[in-house]
Amino acid sequence: MSETKKQHKMNETEQMPSRRSFLFIFWVGLGIVAFIEFIGVVTAFLLPRKKKTKTGDFGTIIEAGKADKFSLNSVTAFIRGKFYLCRLEDGGFLAVSRKCTHLGCTVPWSDKEKKFVCPCHASAFDIRGEVISPPAPRALDVYHLYVENNIVKVDTGKRIKRSGFRTDQVVYAKKA
Amino acid sequence: MKPKHKPSPETTGFFHQLFRSIFPYPLIPKSDQERKRYLLKNLILHFRPPTVPEKTLKFSLTWGLGGMAALLIILQFGTGLLLKFVYKPIPVAAYSSIQMLQNEVMFGYLIRNIHHWCANFLVLIVFLHMLRVFFTGAFHPPRQFSWIIGLGLFGLVLTANFTGYLLPYDQLAYWAVTVSTGMLEYIPVVGNRLQEIIQGGNEIGPATLSIFFAIHTAVVPVGLIILMAFHFWRIRKTGGLVIPRASGEDIEKKPVRVPTLPHLLLREVVVALVLIAVVMVVSVSFDTPLGDSANPGLSPNPTKAPWYFAGLQELLLHLHPLFAVFIIPLVLFVTLMGIPYLKYDTNTEGIWFASIKGRKMALIAGLIAIAAGPMGILADEYLIDFAAGLSGIPTFFGNGLIPFAFIFFGCAGFYILIKHRYSASNNETTQALFVFILVVFLILTVTGTWFRGPGMKLTWPF
């Protein structure tokens, strides 16, 4: 009996293969599209949302204070802005991120040794954020910094990755 | 009085009928035949086979490890469910809700301790279970895919531990997770994006906590239930456990079988009760630490990863992050996945350490690793300063590619040498290499956990 059924089925497929196979492919195709949509929705849902505060917006710019206030070769911590304001020996300013480039620990400044030493894996950086000893792979990030009316301002919305220290990263107050 | 025939509704009372509708079988089965039927009709027990090969009951075949893992997961579900009533997954409230749990909630500290210790035991037990399966050759066909599902379960257990680690939101939690998610950055191409997705932004914060909480309390438990069911089902379909045999004996085709109830279940209950007793004693005796509230501005010194990631962290201290975080774990993962699918000379299922020769080779490989591991760590720490000695070369090569090549060719050389020396089958040699890597990894874990002090310098643990 089953054989006759099979025979019957085969006859059917032979008679109208195009409609059957078309519908089959159509449904499989729809299934694949639905699956892709599903993945897309889930991914879009889970992706981190864009930050509303953009560079230059209110809240990302921190007024560090008057330029003369900071002595040469000194480092001042800004906890709210998560950066250090470093004044180099030549009077130039650098806003250095406190986040270690190795694995993201917060690096404290040691005034005695004149360097940043990461407590997690012992990376060390000099006052310019340059790597003194690994495992950190690159210099500490810097923030965009400018001097307005002799007041040092740091834009914490603009973090700049860098491989090493370059003199054009330093900002001087003398122009004003 | 036990009715032998189905009682007609007219002759029995309403409550009797109700009882029979819930339990349509005798509550205490008397004969073997009844017990087999009982097993099939009981919802909880029916996923066990009615009979099992008598030889697989031997405790030294399994050490009860799989059952222990399943029980620990059930305990985690129970205690986790309770903790969920008290815990608040937002940074400003998380830490204080744990304090409240410990100080104000009745048995709060006990429940947290059980959850904490079970989680730690679970990693250990699942790991030992994996070793047991490997060393009894229980990954040979037809059990290949059970091994893969098992690896998935191991991954889920690690994920559960890792995501749970952040939840108390104390200093330990915050910085351990900062370091661990910091590792993701070194995965090529997708690393940054992946880190951002997992952290829900650029650093650990409210988004991270809700993501971790969701993974910990929903994704992982659901995954565990699905994979556990799959794992158990595969064991049934592949004819149960491997039957233990001595080296040289053939695989038994028709083993003697005994009823699961009482023979297997009794043993499982004993293991379960002993394990629960151990968990309770440990949970009553040792409190789970709760550090200071998380402070993003102050990394404690030293900042250590949890012990099950200590090996990875130790690797990070020696090698370029790309190798420590990505290449070596990837190689290990692929190797583990590949174990059941390699082409072996013989099927060693049921034989501990493949053969007598295999046992000897495993021992020697372990001893070599015990000697080589600490020597390598000490040499890298004090003798070979790659940064200074090879200052002309970028750290990617000096601290990455060159040591990696050294390790890789070391392993390959070890494989060829020991195979040649003992004229062994590739089962035995693969096992020896596995033991070698395993012991080195254990040494890294021990070093990272106990021998690293402030500034991650080598120190004595006491």
Residues 6+ apart with CB under 8 A from B246: B351
A134 at the B interface (CB within 8 A)?
Answer: yes
How confident is the model at residue B47, as a pLDDT? 82
Burial track B285-312 (b if 16+ CB lie within 10 A, e otherwise): eeebebbebbebebbbbbbbbbbbbbbb
B316 closest CB neighbour out of A107, A121, A133: A121
Q: Which pLDDT value is given to residue B1?
A: 46
Question: Is the pLDDT reported for residue B404 higher than 60?
Answer: yes
Contact A122 B455 (CB under 8 A): yes
Note the pLDDT of residue A19. Answer: 80
Q: Is the pLDDT of residue B352 over 80?
A: yes
Residue B391, SS3? coil
For residue A151, pLDDT over 50 is answered with yes
Token output for B404: 């990696």
Mean pLDDT calculated for residue range B104-126: 95
pLDDT at B223: 97
| Chain A with chain B: Cβ pairs closer than 8 A | 77
Q: Which chain A residues contact residue B184 at CB under 8 A? A: none
Asked if pLDDT for residue B410 goes beyond 50, the answer is yes
pLDDT recorded at residue A1:
46
pLDDT at B172 over 80: yes
Average pLDDT over residues B333-349: 91
Report chain B residues whose CB lies below 8 A from the CB of A116: none
| Token representation of residue B265 | 């279940």
Residue B42 near residue B260, CB atoms below 8 Å? no
In this prediction, residues B344-357 reach a mean pLDDT of 88
CB atoms A120 and B302 under 8 Å = yes
Percent of chain B with pLDDT over 90: 44
* The token pair that represents A39 in the structure block: 């993945």
Q: What is the pLDDT of residues B227-243, one digit of tens each?
A: 999 999 999 999 889 88
Query: Which is more confident, B225 or A43?
Result: B225
- The pLDDT score that the predictor gives to residue B384 is 64
Mean pLDDT to the nearest integer, B76-81: 95
For B350-365, what is the mean pLDDT?
A: 90
Mean pLDDT of chain B: 87
Mean pLDDT of B435-452: 91
Q: Which residues is A69 bridged to in the sheet?
A: none
Is residue A138 less than 8 Å (CB to CB) from chain B? no
CB B459 within 8 A of CB B390: no
What type of residue sits at position B281? Answer: V
Name A11's bridge partners: none
Q: Average of pLDDT values for B449-453?
A: 85
CB contact under 8 Å between A137 and B387, yes or no, is: no
pTM of the model: 0.86
**C-alpha B105 chain-centroid distance:** 31
Structure tokens at B273: 């009760």
In DSSP terms, B259 is beta-bridged to B51
Cβ of A133 within 8 Å of Cβ of B183? The answer is no
C-beta of residue A52 within 8 angstroms of C-beta of residue A68: no
Of B82, B66, B233, B59, whose CA–CA distance to B143 is shortest? B233
Q: Which residue of A has its CA nearest to B184?
A: A103
Out of A18-22, B64-68, B110-114, B270-274, least confident range: A18-22
The top-level CATH class assigned to B53-297 is: mainly alpha
Compute the average pLDDT of residues B110-132.
Answer: 96
**B183 has a chain A CB within 8 A of its CB:** yes
Of the candidates B128, B20, B9, the residue with the CA atom closest to the CA atom of residue B65: B128
Which one of A121-130, B56-65, B68-77, B309-318 scores highest in mean pLDDT?
B68-77
What ipTM, to 2 d.p.? 0.75
Question: What are the residue boundaries of the structural domains of chain B, listed by start?
Answer: 53-297, 310-462
Residue of B nearest to A133 (CA): B387
Q: Residues near B135 by Cβ (< 8 Å), separated by ≥ 6?
A: B352, B353, B362, B431
How many Cα neighbours within 13 Å face the side chain of B99?
Answer: 10
Q: Shortest Cα distance from B36 to chain A (angstroms)? A: 38
Task: Tell whether B320 lies on the interface with A, counting CB pairs under 8 A.
Answer: yes
d(Cα A44, Cα A138) in Å, to the nearest integer? 32
What is the structure's pLDDT at A176? 43
Q: Residues B187-193: what's their mean pLDDT?
A: 84
Q: What's the pLDDT at B11?
A: 65
| Residue A44 with chain B: CB contacts under 8 Å | none
Select from A146, A170, A168 the least CA-distant residue to A64: A146
Mean pLDDT of B263-267: 91
d(CA B21, CA B15): 10
Average of per-residue pLDDT across B245-256: 84
- Please, which pLDDT band fits residue B65 given cuts at 50, 70 and 90? very high
pLDDT of residue A44: 87
- Which pLDDT score, from 0 to 100, does residue B392 have? 58
pLDDT at B15 over 60: yes
The amino acid that residue B405 corresponds to is A
| Alpha helix stretches (DSSP H) within chain A | 2-15, 17-46
pLDDT tops 60 at residue B110: yes
pLDDT score at A3: 53
Nearest to B110 by CA among B88, B87, B70, B79: B79
Give the closest residue to B269 by CA, choosing from B40, B34, B68: B68
pLDDT of residue A174: 63
Mean pLDDT (whole number) for B19-47 = 81
How much is the pLDDT for A160? 78
Q: Tell me which of A42-56, B127-141, B380-394 is least confident.
A: B380-394
> What pLDDT shows up at residue B46?
82
Most confidently modeled of A101-115, B84-98, B198-212, B388-402?
B84-98
